[in-house]
Chains A and B, each alone.
Chain A
Amino acid sequence: MSSSAPRPLRHTALDAVHRALGATMTDFAGWDMPLRYGSERDEHLAVRTRAGLFDLSHMGEITVTGPQAAALLNHALVGNIASVGVGRARYTMICREDGGILDDLIVYRLAEAEYMVVANASNAQVVLDALTERAAGFDAEVRDDRDNYALIAVQGPESPGILASLTDADLDGLKYYAGLPGTVAGVPALIARTGYTGEDGFELFVAPADAEKLWQALTDAGADAGLVPCGLSCRDTLRLEAGMPLYGHELTTGLTPFDAGLGRVVKFDKEGDFVGREALLAAAERAASQPPRVLVGLVAEGRRVPRAGYPVVAGGEVIGEVTSGAPSPTLGKPIAMAYVDAVHAAPGTPGVGVDIRGRHEPYEVVALPFYKRQK
């Protein structure tokens, strides 16, 4: 955050619920969000084995409508958004002209000429501004819908059963990365089969006024299945185990999607020009011929935890930097994602360590993700 004057924290529609549950709160991108309710490790394991309930209302919803909504998004984003079917979603990115990543996004196509773009809380204004600017000349409208949605996620293997008990929507027919309008516990909701945990699960976009009712209904419906409220702390360890990037850590304006190992989201063959195309072509070539640093997984041999910014070392030289690190509840050891020089990036590369406050601790280079659910 670069703002000079501290601004008052924003509160979600579920703020009173979090306080009643005794949550430890944290400032996340200007929002007062639950960090954890009890043990973050227990919350993490609940999502892996049963189900967890998250308030993600800090995420930034932007609606794009109009005859040229698809054309605008194809121009403004790096993916082929026009090819997304109605009722489906796509993971994509928005880049600068120089190819630097402004944010990673999920775009839901709600109707032929209506999309919902979901941005990270920390970047929502940047994305809104960029989309608005890039909309010039297109017959499309960009609308700030951040205050019109609360977002509740239910994630984990028990989540389909819990949700099914509260809705008539066809959840079996709802594939991963699909979304449909429906009713959950009597509340109108956009039901999306998306998430950031590496588990099956759903994200429910609802009116803020309905958020408490939906949260309570999910809490009650999930009680027997072992659903627990979960904070952002376990969300971070869940996504880390699943090898999912987090903006500000693995993704920054200083990196292109190709640098982040996510060049596949860039679609050069789509119709029309798009912002960043030329720079991204060069970045693609560079990544193929002489890759700069490569994003890898690191697993600790010891118990000391690597943190973002710690140097990765080999033979006494700095060969990279940790972008995210945490104790992994699933693996039972510390893990990290790090950018390392390509020559050290192969899984099993010997002699790699992390400089943990002056001590070089041995780490094993592994392929991402650390964890993949059994389907």
Chain B
Amino acid sequence: MSNPQQLRYSKEHEWLSPAEDGVATVGITEFAANALGDVVYADLPEVGTTVAAGETCGELESTKSVSDLYSPVSGEVTEVNEDVVNDPSLVNSAPFEGGWLFKVRVTEEPADLLSADEYAAETAG
């Protein structure tokens, strides 16, 4: 699997897009989606709520388990992906594209987010 070069990654397996007008998109990586198995329910943060980098902001349920969703950045949620709410399997089929989870107006970005290559090394083996 390949991790898009233009994204940055958290060790909790979220990705973050470059901000446009201060708003960045968040999703989970293909590695995480494969580890979860079929995602059947996405509990995403509500628009207008504040999320904090490294803290839980929702849940993803798969057949076998439920996993916390961590925000890779701090800021205010401006949009959630209703397509994923209606069809959580998008997280599996297109984790870096149609399966994005929410958008956030970034107030603070941790310094330790990983590049695509660093994340690939982190998840190798």
A residues contacting B by CB (< 8 A) are 24, 35-36, 39-41, 233, 237, 303-305, 307, 326-327, 334, 357
A-B contact pairs, 27 of them (CB 8 A): A24-B37, A35-B37, A35-B64, A36-B37, A39-B37, A39-B38, A39-B92, A40-B63, A41-B63, A41-B89, A233-B37, A237-B63, A303-B40, A303-B41, A304-B41, A304-B43, A304-B61, A305-B40, A305-B61, A307-B65, A307-B66, A326-B63, A326-B64, A327-B38, A327-B63, A334-B40, A357-B66
Interface of B is mostly: mixed
Number of CB contacts from chain A to chain B under 8 A: 40
Known: A326-B64, A334-B40. 10 other contacts (CB 8 A): A24-B35, A35-B37, A39-B37, A40-B38, A237-B63, A303-B41, A304-B61, A307-B66, A327-B38, A327-B63
Q: How far is the CA of A303 from the CA of B41 in the complex (A)?
A: 6
B34 at the interface (CB under 8 A from A): yes
Residues of A within 8 A of B63 (CB): 40-41, 233, 237, 326-327
Interface centre among B37, B38, B43, B89 (most CB of A within 10 A): B38
Q: How far is the CA of A233 from the CA of B38 in the complex (A)?
A: 11
Chain B min CB distance to A228 (Å): 15
Given A304-B61, A305-B61: A327 in contact with B92 (beta carbons within 8 A): no
Closest 8 CB pairs of A and B: A327-B40, A303-B41, A41-B38, A305-B61, A40-B63, A39-B38, A40-B37, A40-B38
B residues contacting A by CB (< 8 A) are 34-35, 37-38, 40-41, 43, 61, 63-66, 89, 92
In the complex, the chain A residue whose C-beta lies closest to that of B61 is A305
Residues of A within 8 A of B35 (CB): 24
Residues of A within 8 A of B64 (CB): 35, 40, 233, 326
Chain B min CB distance to A358 (Å): 12
Residues of A within 8 A of B41 (CB): 303-305, 327
A24 touches B40 (CB 8 A): no
Q: How far is the CA of A120 from the CA of B96 in the complex (A)?
A: 40
In the complex, the chain A residue whose C-beta lies closest to that of B64 is A233
B92 touches A305 (CB 8 A): no
Chain B min CB distance to A45 (Å): 11
